[in-house]
Amino acid sequence: MGRISKKDLLKKLDISYGQLYRWKREELIPDEWFIKVSVPSGQETYFDEELITERIDAIRRMKDKFRIDEIRSILNNNGSLRTYTIVELCKIRELNLDVLQLFSSSNGLELNDLVAVYMISKVVDAGIDIRSAEKLVKVDLTGNNVYVIGGEWVVSACDIAEASCDCVAIRYDACKSLVLSLLGSYGI
């Protein structure tokens, strides 16, 4: 887990201290993401860099389209309460329609399955055969709550890039956050 200090986060993402804490008060950023660390001069706040960056990007994408309570609902939805229909999911340009058709049932998809479909879509869109892509993406929702990707491709919450590794662990929470923000940006 890569950490970033509050000071570096504010500078990197060009946001103010007040904005960051407003989003915390509005429950757009979970309180537990503010990691307090004792230092000789007192206490500093750190964040998981990937999670907080994805969350702030999602908030920025949605803030002009949705009310705060709608954004909160989208970001804090655990996804277990609903199934997304195929009609709804076909609106999402980031999902490969062939992958969606192959992996969805007539009832649609729950969030965990949708996250896997999103990741397989990214691999297929990068030029990997759909059956090979299915084998590259392995889902482990137990323990550390990660997706493990094998082969020569890395699927991150942000993009796909060639990599010189055999296996990469991706935080499930970051991918889930991205998919939830996509759902929100399409009004689903």
pLDDT tens by residue, the chain, 188 residues: 589 999 999 999 999 999 999 999 998 998 989 999 998 998 999 999 988 998 898 888 888 877 887 787 777 765 445 778 888 888 888 888 888 888 777 778 877 778 778 877 877 787 777 766 666 565 444 333 333 344 333 333 333 333 333 334 455 666 677 777 778 777 77
Q: Given this model, what pLDDT does residue 5 score?
A: 94
CATH of 3-76, one of 3.30.2010, 2.60.40, 1.10.1660, 1.10.15: 1.10.1660
- The span from the CA of 176 to the CA of 112, in Å, is 8
Euclidean distance between CA atoms 138 and 51, whole angstroms = 21
Domain chopping of the chain, boundaries: 3-76, 86-185
Residues 41-58 pLDDT 10s: 989 999 999 889 988 988
Helix 49-62 to helix 172-185 angle (10° resolution) is: 0
Q: Can you say whether the dihedral through the CA atoms of 69, 118, 57, 92 is positive or negative?
A: negative
**102-108, Cβ contacts within 8 angstroms, sequence gap of 24 or more:** 102/130, 107/83, 108/83, 108/84
The predicted pLDDT at position 111 comes to: 77
